[in-house]
Structure 1
Amino acid sequence: MQESHNQESIEKQKLPEVEETLETHHSGESAAHPEKAGEDIPLDLEQQLKEAEIRAAEHHDAWLRAKAETENIRKRAQTDIANAHKYAIDSFATQLLAVMDSLDAALIVENSTIDSLKDGVELTRKQLAAIFEKFSIHTINPQGEKFDPHQHEAMCTVESDAPPNTVTQVMQKGYVLHERVIRPAMVAVSKAKSS
């Protein structure tokens, strides 16, 4: 009897340990299998998933809008560049119209003398020179200067008393737009006389 009583007390002492182990096992199982652990955890995960999907959709939408805006800016820039190239000389061309009008007016006059024609041409040339000055177009007229291959084009060499590589004759003037040569001067260049 004593023995069975001792056995019962030992089993009772072991029982809380077993219950504790079972609780731990069940709670671990709940964590591993949330569907067995009640409804809070799946709802919480589902809520988080929905929020993440909403945020992802917002970010995707913002990305699409930014991409479209970038594409629009690129297209606008291309159009602006094309228009800048196409209409770059708009102001210059407008100024040249006055020169064309002067030439047309000179041709209309029926009984013009050589002197009146010459005066008209001089006035028209002054108009054109003023336009050139306004748009920073300057003449290259290197008579007597040292030959510069960046601004002059040698058409021939001639024996001369001038130092070698000196421009002895300007066959056609050159022009510079700001600092860029738009047409080199066509020149004859001196060379030493042969003995």
Structure 2
Amino acid sequence: MSSPDNLESPTPPVDNTPEAAATDAAAATPSVEEQLAQLKAQLAEAHDGLLRAKAETENVRRRSEEEISKARKFAVESFADSLLPVRDSLEAAVAMPDAPLEKVLEGVHATLRQLSAALERNKVLQINPPAGTKFDPHQHQAISMVPADQDANTVVAVLQKGYLIADRVLRPALVTVAAPK
């Protein structure tokens, strides 16, 4: 009796001739048609990727243009919203032509406070240099030079306040400047 371990499976004979080696190499190397098909598939995939990237770029550009357009269109929305209470106060004052002077003056002061708060909320800040401040041509505009008992090129008086919007001069302060002695 023979055990299954003793059974030998027949092994095919190995052909070591050059013709057999060439046949094996040809079977392992894809044919020109197969290579062409692979290259065409890769080209189609790359072309598809290019078209998708191009479409995405166009979509990003279009969305950016829309956002910029909206930002320009509605840039003053917050500022206008801040000014509406000021307008309401002025309209209320005009609607009361027979109001006593004290009431009108009180309303004007309240409206001025509303306007100042609205400007500050929107980063519109005053340029109101105190006397003796060094003249700054970036924020001040000298109207005249006057003899004064202070250092030359310093502010003597403010004729009109200036304003900044987020560090950019909207209107320089109109000032008189001390003349050199």
Give me the TM-score of the superposition, normalised by structure 1. Answer: 0.72
- In structure 2, the residue matched to 1:168 is 156
What are the Cα deviations for residues 106-159 of structure 1, in whole angstroms up to 9, with x where unaligned? 111121222221111100011111122222322111131221111101111112
Task: Give deviations 1:7-48, integer Å, cap 9, x for gaps.
Answer: xxxxxxxxxxxxxxxxx9xx9xxx9xxxxxxxx8xx932122
Q: Which residue of 85, 92, 107 maps to 1:98?
A: 85
Q: Using CA pairs under 8 Å that are at least 6 residues apart, name the structure with larger relative contact order, 1 or 2.
A: 2
Q: Which amino acid aligns with 2:101?
A: I
Q: Which has the larger radius of gyration?
A: 1
The reply to whether residue 140 of structure 1 matches residue 127 of structure 2 is: yes
User: RMSD of the TM alignment (CA)?
Assistant: 2.3
Identity of aligned residues (%): 45
In the alignment, what sits opposite 1:55?
A: 42
Whether the aligned pair in 2 keeps the contact of 1:161 and 1:192 (CA below 8 Å) is: no
Give the AA of the match of 1:53: K
Structure 1: 5+ residue stretches without partners: 1-23, 32-39
**C-alpha separation between the residues in 2 aligned to 1:143 and 1:177?**
20
Q: Secondary structure in 1 aligned to 2:44?
A: helix
Secondary structure in structure 1 of the residue aligned to 2:58: helix
Q: Relative to 1, partners in 2 of residues 1:110 and 1:48: Cα closer, same or farther, differing over 3 Å?
A: same
Pair 1:185 & 2:173 matched: yes
Pair 1:52–1:111, CA change in 2 (3 A): same
Structure with the higher fraction of residues in helix conformation: 1
Contact 1:164 1:190 in 2 (8 A): yes
* Counterpart residue type for residue 95 of structure 2: I
Matched residue SS, 2:108 = helix
Name 1:119's counterpart in structure 2. 106
Question: Which of 128, 133, 137 is the matching residue for 1:149?
Answer: 137
Equivalence for 1:34: none
Find the aligned partners of 1:188 and 1:82 in 2 and give their Cα distance.
43
Structure 2 residue ranges without an equivalent (≥5) = 1-17
Query: After superposition, where does 1:52-91 map in structure 2 within 5 Å?
Result: 52-91=39-78
Per-residue CA deviation, residues 48-87 of structure 1 (Å, 9 max, x unaligned), is 2122112211210110111111011012112212222222
2 CA distance for matches of 1:103 and 1:79? 37
Structure 1 counterpart of 2:4: none
- Per the normalisation by structure 2, the TM-score is 0.77
2:51 counterpart letter in structure 1: L
Q: In structure 2, how many angstroms separate the alpha carbons of the residues matched to 1:192 and 1:58?
A: 79
